Amino acid sequence: MYTNTKVSTKILIITVLGLCFYFPFLGDVHLFDWDEINFAESAREMLLTGNYSRVQIDFKPFWEKPPLFFWMQTGAMSLFGINEFAARFPNACVGLITLLTLFFVGKKLKNQTFGFIWSLVYLGAFTPHLYFKSGIIDPTFNLCIFLGIYFIYRAKIEPNRQFINALVSGIFIGLSILTKGPVGGLIWGLTVFFYWAIFEKFRPIFTWKQIFTFAITCVLVTSIWFANELINNGLWFFEEFITYQIRLFSTPDAGHGQPFYYHFVVVLIGCFPISIFAIRAFTYSDTKEDKTSTELSVFLAWMKTVFWVVMILFSIVTTKIVHYSSMAYFPVSFLATKFLYDWLTDKVTWNKWMSFGLISVGFILSLVLAAVPYVGMNADSFIPLIKDKFAAKNLEAPVEWHIYEMLIGIVYFAVIVFVVVKYAVSKSTIKNRKKLFITTLSLATALCLFLFGAIVVPKIERYTQGAAIDFYESKRGQNVYIHVLGFKSYAHLFYFQKPINSGNAAILKDAAYENWLLNGKVDKPVFFVTRVDRLEQYRNNSNLEIIKEENGFVFLRRKAVL
């Protein structure tokens, strides 16, 4: 499967795996607040308004993100309708493209075995796998940055293709900036600078022609949107955009302030099991000097640089969210692949601490996977122990659980222990057993996540937001206002499918709009949703009456205006 299989067969295997694991059940669970629904709503509003140059949320300018990913979502929504499947479809496609990209890059760096292992372990890692089944921006953003870095690396080692590689690098970094903003260029720039400083000791590595080619190409690609926005709407949008980026780096946003080491823990746990192999890859160096190993060693230096740039940069940034460090998945997966390939070819030995790492971290993750159904089946016993009133009420949702759902986590841990003992640390470990270890662990992880996502995640969603989304959907198509009070959400916009504002509502700012809905002379019925722990501040408003309370959410109605 690793050495004797033709390249075309391996491409077919990777494609089938991507299609089977990333695309099924994409639309079987509601989008999650905030990011998934936020981005899908922006795409929906693009379709509704026909304005594809201006990103909006609640039909107001949304300067946090450029439009490329929303364009991808609008394309999917044009094909499949405005729904969860369409919102997540672009990332599933990016997931398949990523697996194939890793195969071809790995094949170019070393051989087809290396590329196949890289694709396989990326498929079988926790957060990298899950992100391709989501509707967030980062998988697309990260792939563009990775390719931008890969082609600038090739510009250095291929003298006869310097121009084309610099040009392609500029295209992909331009696309990354169009996806998520200047941070794409920042990660690329810091990576190039620190690689140049640390590994090249400030010796010239690029010509001015290459630098100029990259810069002009990057500017031209980003001008697809930035120049159009500047010409049509002036500087104010960019001022707001840059102000937001600065605030994101300097101020904890939306309660996401975390300790400095936060992202290191996230990557260690979230990238299991490849994070364990990556740690081992940091502990030894190459001794071969043939052409392929030399190229691989140079790329290893680039990947280590990317890893530390991402981890340190986003540890410094005061807003810390799980997916901010997701660009590290590429260097982590490369380092893991390098160790596994070297282990497969007897260049490095297995370390007992790796066995400990796989079993201990695997136990923690498996315990969490098994604990979710257990808590659900015994919710009445756990509710009194929860101090958060809203979370306790969430657990009152009527969700039916089965004991077999706990087996997903239990069986997964059993597989981890089995492959470690049987194939990794066994004294009779030979190449075929090592191949079985890599294949079994990767596919077992992918299958575990697939089953958990299809069976358990929809039930988790019923606790966290199910009652609210049911209410929004029940009002869809009615000539009413829907608004949330006391908490941030985008779910009411997408699932109510809020129409374009008209009349007074269209010109009011957020605070004024809420006050108008609460106390003004409204022109149609108004419904509000708040959380049980935020209700007190609205309970004494004489204009409001409670309709019902369900699973932590309180639903209110504005009394008729006389």
Is residue 115 a contact partner of residue 47, using CB atoms and an 8 Å limit?
A: no
**pLDDT band for position 289 (50/70/90)?**
very low
Tally of structural domains, the chain: 2
First to last CA, the chain: 76
When pLDDT is averaged across residues 289-296 and rounded to a whole number, the result is: 65
- For 104, 157, 334, the CA distances from 299, given in Å and listed in that order, are 14, 10, 9
- Provide the pLDDT for residue 425: 72
Residue 427 is assigned to a structural domain of this protein: no
Q: What CA–CA distance (Å, rounded) separates 384 from 392?
A: 8
Q: Mean pLDDT lowest for which of 72-76, 290-294, 376-380?
A: 290-294
Q: Tell the burial category of 113 from Cβ atoms under 10 Å away from its Cβ (0-12, 13-18, 19+).
A: buried
Name, of 220-229, 317-326, 391-400, the range with top average pLDDT. 391-400
Residue 481 backbone dihedrals phi, psi, to 5 degrees: -100, 140
Q: Mean pLDDT lowest for which of 43-52, 64-73, 314-323, 406-415?
A: 314-323
Of 493, 472, 431, 443, residue with least CA distance to 62 = 493
Residue 191 is assigned to a structural domain of this protein: yes
DSSP string for residues in 389-440: HHHHHHTTS-----GGGGHHHHHHHHHHHHHIIIIIS-TT--HHHHHHHHHH
Per-residue pLDDT reduced to its tens digit, 176-198: 999 998 899 999 999 999 999 99
Residue 161 is assigned to a structural domain of this protein: yes
Strand partners, 557: 527, 545
């740690």: which residue's tokens? 279
**pLDDT band for position 234 (50/70/90)?**
low
Q: Mean pLDDT lowest for which of 51-60, 252-261, 405-414?
A: 252-261
When pLDDT is averaged across residues 539-544 and rounded to a whole number, the result is: 88
Is residue 397 a contact partner of residue 470, using CB atoms and an 8 Å limit?
A: no
Q: Which of 199, 218, 251 is the last residue of a domain?
A: 251
pLDDT value at 509 more than 80: no
Contacts with 408 (C-beta within 8 Å, 6 or more apart), sequence order: 369, 370, 448, 451, 452, 455, 456
pLDDT value at 291 more than 80: no
When pLDDT is averaged across residues 488-496 and rounded to a whole number, the result is: 95
- Provide the pLDDT for residue 501: 72
- Provide the pLDDT for residue 184: 94
Residue 328 is assigned to a structural domain of this protein: no
Q: What CA–CA distance (Å, rounded) separates 443 from 120?
A: 8
Residue 386 is assigned to a structural domain of this protein: no
Per-residue pLDDT reduced to its tens digit, 114-126: 999 999 999 999 9
Q: Which of 251, 273, 301 is the last residue of a domain?
A: 251
Per-residue pLDDT reduced to its tens digit, 250-287: 665 555 557 778 889 999 999 999 999 999 999 887 65
Residue 438 is assigned to a structural domain of this protein: no
- Provide the pLDDT for residue 235: 67
Residue 266 is assigned to a structural domain of this protein: no
Within 10 Å of residue 402's Cβ, how many Cβ atoms?
11
3-state secondary structure of 244: helix
Q: Which of 251, 283, 315 is the last residue of a domain?
A: 251
Q: Mean pLDDT lowest for which of 72-76, 148-152, 253-257, 452-456?
A: 253-257
Residue 305 is assigned to a structural domain of this protein: no
Which pTM does this prediction carry? 0.93
Residue 347 backbone dihedrals phi, psi, to 5 degrees: -90, -15
- Provide the pLDDT for residue 288: 52
59's enclosing H/E stretch is: none
Name, of 224-233, 242-251, 306-315, 535-544, the range with top average pLDDT. 306-315
Is residue 335 a contact partner of residue 277, using CB atoms and an 8 Å limit?
A: yes
3-state secondary structure of 39: helix
**pLDDT band for position 247 (50/70/90)?**
low
Domain, as residue range, for 549? 473-558
